[in-house]
């Protein structure tokens, strides 16, 4: 409201469908999202599930492309690939070198 004009008029003129969407996203989706998140946190250690939060922007962009017909530019695809590769590096377990080379007795 400090840097843009007409924000109060936009709020006053917003149709009922917009307010319904805001309520749905704010109440239903937030409650559902946090319920699922805390269920997962109850079953797994935090360090195992936290990297998956980094996928939130990737899934949001994918949802926008699938549901809203948003354009996927090469830059967006490259960025999403980098994020997915980074998360994969975090969550894929590697065997320690000592365990991989067991001494022969």
In a shared domain, residues 63 and 85 = yes
Find where tokens 């377990």 sit: 93
- Is residue 66 domain-shared with residue 83, that is, in the same domain? yes
Query: What pLDDT sits at residue 2?
Result: 77
Could you report the per-residue pLDDT of 45-101, keeping only the tens digit for each? 888 889 889 999 999 999 999 988 999 999 999 999 999 999 999 888 776 766 556
Judged against a pLDDT cut of 60, whether residue 1 lies above it is answered with yes
Query: Which among 31, 34, 67, 37 is positioned nearest to 52, based on CA atoms?
Result: 37
- Work out how many domains the chain is built from and give that number: 2
For 24, the domain range is 15-44
Q: What is the spatial distance between Cα 56 and Cα 94, in angstroms, rounded to a whole number?
A: 25
State in Å, rounded, how far the first CA of the chain is from the last one.
Answer: 73
Residue 102 in this model has a pLDDT that exceeds 70: no
């Amino acid at each position: 409201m400090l840097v843009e004009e007409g924000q109060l008029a936009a709020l006053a003129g917003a149709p009922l469908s917009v307010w319904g969407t805001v309520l749905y996203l704010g109440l239903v989706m937030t409650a559902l999202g946090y319920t699922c998140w805390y269920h997962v946190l109850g079953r797994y250690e935090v360090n195992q599930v936290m990297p998956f939060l980094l996928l939130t922007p990737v899934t949001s962009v994918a949802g926008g492309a699938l549901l809203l017909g948003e354009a996927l530019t090469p830059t967006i695809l490259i960025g999403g690939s980098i994020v997915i590769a980074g998360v994969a590096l975090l969550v894929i377990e590697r065997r320690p070198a000592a365990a991989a080379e067991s001494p022969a007795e």
